[in-house]
Structure 1
Amino acid sequence: MLRFIAPLFALCLALPAHASNDSYIARLLNKPVPGGVAVVDLGASAQAPQASYQGRPVLVVKEQDARWLAIVGVPLTIKPGSQQITAKTANGTRTLTFTVASKQYPEQRITLKNQRQVNPNPADLKRIDGELAEQISAYRSFTPGTPSNLLLDKPVSGPLSSKFGVRRFFNGEERNPHAGLDFAVPAGTPIKSPAAGKVILIGNYFFNGNTVFVDHGQGFISMFCHMSKIDVKVGQTVTRGGVVGRVGSTGRATGPHMHWNVSLNDARVDPAIFIGAFQP
């Protein structure tokens, strides 16, 4: 991404932000709710602007009319109301606002036979902390280049078995909300990358089981877990539709299924937005 030196008297204005109603990308992706996506119009410029939200760099893409759009991931923890991003161009810095609407997520109650997957022991917790640090580092990756596609392909063909954002109770105890989509498909089903990218992390984790992270560019990242088999290596480039592994039930899982996370600017967001299946 290009770097700009801010002029001595940088322009710092708080402006309302919105994406044009005629924008294809906005019609597809603009779902500004907790766990959703805000598409913010950065205006037209000869060079790509830089944008950031909550201290994290944001995906910026060019619309057909030469306008630039920020594709902002909104964390599930954000409360409804006004939010701000910072946009930098060769001409200065602006603060743009967007509004987050409310959204209610349902509950899901799951029974696990392995009590350690509900209340891990001290050794498990030490392992979990290390694994979490690895995964957070991967989610915070930010590489240059425009993603091959923003309208993503489904990694597998099958019905949804669990939606994003669901409040989850394991053996009656509430844990973190569901951060992705689950597809009900048989063990061994090939998992295909929904866009081109680079494999930045693989591992076998306490909760996630066999896991693959694919970086699609500019902090736009897919994560697949509970896999029975991993078919890629770290550093490998994958094409859109390339197989990254096979469906399984490793980690904290009650049976074979495909779990898929999508992350923008280190915020886990609803993958349904990117496959045209979002429900308000």
Structure 2
Amino acid sequence: MLRFITPIVALLLALPAHAAPDSYIDRLLNKPVPGGVAVVDLGPSAQTPQASYQGKPVLVVKQEARWVAIIGVPLTIKPGSQQITAKTSSGTRTLPFTVGFKAYPEQHITLKNQRQVNPNPADLKRIDGELAEQIRAYRSFSPGTPSNLLLDKPVNGPLSSKFGVRRFFNGEERNPHAGLDFAVPAGTPIKSPAAGRVILIGNYFFNGNTVFVDHGQGFISMFCHMSKIDVKVGDNVPRGGVVGRVGSTGRATGPHMHWNVSLNDARVDPAIFIGAFQP
């Protein structure tokens, strides 16, 4: 169980949610678009509520006498009405929320290694195994409240690629960009944006050297393309603890820090959690 509670999150969680429109969490996180986050008010409950979206458990936190669900919205979700299921002390009910529209730009990248665009059969077998391993990590759901919801930047540097960008490698479209890239030199320390536990490390075909940190209740950070990993599976990492160093391993054109944030197995825009979201 994670027990990394700081004064800032104690203050954050003590603020009233009401119907969520004026809450701190709502102002910070409620960006209900594909690849964004929806904050849904669960109301008061004598017991800790349980909530799920698309059959997967979601992050629930308390604000004064009320509870809110913090839901990751997959990039594949179309604008329109969605709903979660919530179990509270007063019973089970469905609660709606609305997903708005967001347009994402395109990015064209040239790679010298053609196998990073069109992998051979042996590569594909490796990729499939690595993907399954990483999906299991993204679907982890541990108890405990995250130490902080307003996250720290893992590195200090300019953004080189935003979340959700449609990516074309050597003219061929591939999966959208699932995180933020920071342009920083090789060897720069990568710091955990919140306290957590290391649940997976690996050296993967596309991601290179990779670390997954579980912040609690399906709230997970992933860092990849690292030159060096400084932690091992099972390590408890404090907020600001170094997990590795910036590199260019895997499918990368040069040194940079790639950071994913996942909620309920949905990759969402990390910019939301650092106050840098752009509608």
| TM-score after normalising by structure 1 | 0.93
Measured after TM superposition, the shift of residue 90 of structure 1 is 2.6
Work out the CA distance in 1 between the residues paired with 2:97 and 2:149.
21
Partner of 2:133: helix, strand, or coil?
A: helix
Q: How far off is 1:10 after superposition?
A: 33
1:22: Cα distance to partner? Answer: 1.8
Q: Is the 8 A contact 1:73 1:264 kept in 2?
A: yes
User: What are structure 2's unaligned runs of at least 5 residues?
Assistant: none
Give how far 1:20 is off: 2.1
RMSD value, Cα: 6.5
Q: 1:8 to 1:244 in 2, by over 3 A?
A: closer
Deviation of 1:72 after TM superposition, in Å, equals 0.2
CA shift digits 1:226-276 (9 cap, x unpaired): 000000000000000000000000000000000000000000000000000
CA pair 48-262 structure 1, distance change in 2 beyond 3 A: same
User: Could you say which residue in structure 1 is the equivalent of 2:9?
Assistant: 9
Shift of 1:202: 0.1
Structure 1 residues 15, 226: CA separation in 2 closer, same or farther (over 3 Å shift)?
closer
Tell whether the 8 Å contact from 2:52 to 2:58 is kept in structure 1 after alignment: yes
CA displacement at 1:149 relative to structure 2? 0.2
Cα pair distance change 1:112/1:52, threshold 3 Å: same
> CA offset at residue 45 of structure 1?
1.4
* Kept in 1: contact 2:2–2:144 (CA 8 A): no
- 1-structure distance, mates of 2:94, 2:183: 43
Sort the Cα spacing of 1:237 and 1:15 in 2 relative to 1 into closer, same or farther, 3 A. Answer: closer
Higher mean C-alpha deviation, range 140-149 or range 2-11: 2-11
Structure 1 runs of 4+ aligned residues shifted over 4 Å read 1-19
Give the TM-score normalised by structure 2: 0.93
SS at match of 1:77: coil
User: Across the two proteins, how many residue pairs are aligned to each other?
Assistant: 279
Specify the SS of the correspondent of 1:9.
helix
Q: Does 1:214 align with 2:213?
A: yes
Q: Structure 2 vs 1, CA of residues 242 and 11 (structure 1 numbering), >3 Å: closer, same or farther?
A: closer
Q: Is the 8 Å Cα contact of residues 11 and 93 (structure 1) preserved in structure 2?
A: no
In the other structure, the counterpart of 1:122 is: 121
> Is the partner of 1:13 in helix, strand or coil?
helix
When residues 13 and 214 of structure 1 are mapped into structure 2, their CA distance, relative to the original with a 3 A threshold, is closer
CA distance in 2, matches of 1:131, 1:206: 8
TM-fit CA distance, 1:14: 28
In structure 2, do the counterparts of structure 1 residues 10 and 278 end up closer, same or farther at CA, with 3 Å as the change threshold?
A: closer
Give ranges in structure 1 of 5+ residues lacking alignment: none
- 3-state SS, counterpart of residue 70 of structure 1: strand
Contact 1:59 1:219 in 2 (8 A): yes
- Give how far 1:46 is off: 2.0
